[in-house]
Amino acid sequence: MDKYKTDFKLQVVNSFLGDEGGAKLLARRWKVPEEKIRTWVSHYRLHGIDGLRPKRSAYSSEFKQQVLSHQDRERLSSRRVAAIYDIRNPNQVVVWR
């Protein structure tokens, strides 16, 4: 089960996008890790509300290789490539290395 409800994530993202403060300030206000806020915002910008909903997936080895190749080719951070491919946990990309 997801620790944070979709409505809560959307509220935090809207606070960020509405210039109510940066990730650090909002992390303190909402009692959420700063990295979570950055991840939610990235996913929301690329995938809308669906990027904030829980997603359970098993990834094929071909998909993993595609993600890692794209990351290397474009020199992307794990958080950025995870957002592009709608992988909810950026640390998953690190584990695949």
**Selection from 68, 65, 25, 18 nearest residue 44 by Cα:** 18
At 3, is the pLDDT very low, low, confident or very high (cuts 50, 70, 90)?
confident
Rounded Cα gap, residues 10 and 61, in angstroms: 32
Q: Are residues 13 and 47 in the same domain?
A: yes
| Domain range enclosing 92 | 61-96
Q: Are residues 46 and 67 in the same domain?
A: no
In this predicted structure, the answer to whether residue 18 has a pLDDT above a threshold of 70 is yes
- What is the tally of structural domains in the chain? 2
Domain-located, residue 37: yes
Rounded Cα gap, residues 67 and 88, in angstroms: 13
Q: Are residues 40 and 68 in the same domain?
A: no
Tell me the pTM: 0.75
pLDDT in tens, 22-72: 999 999 999 999 999 999 999 999 999 999 998 878 899 999 999 999 999
Q: Are residues 42 and 17 in the same domain?
A: yes
Q: Are residues 45 and 66 in the same domain?
A: no
What is the per-residue pLDDT for 9?
97
Q: Are residues 44 and 68 in the same domain?
A: no
Domain-located, residue 45: yes
Q: Is 13 exposed, middle or buried (0-12, 13-18, 19+ CB in 10 A)?
A: buried
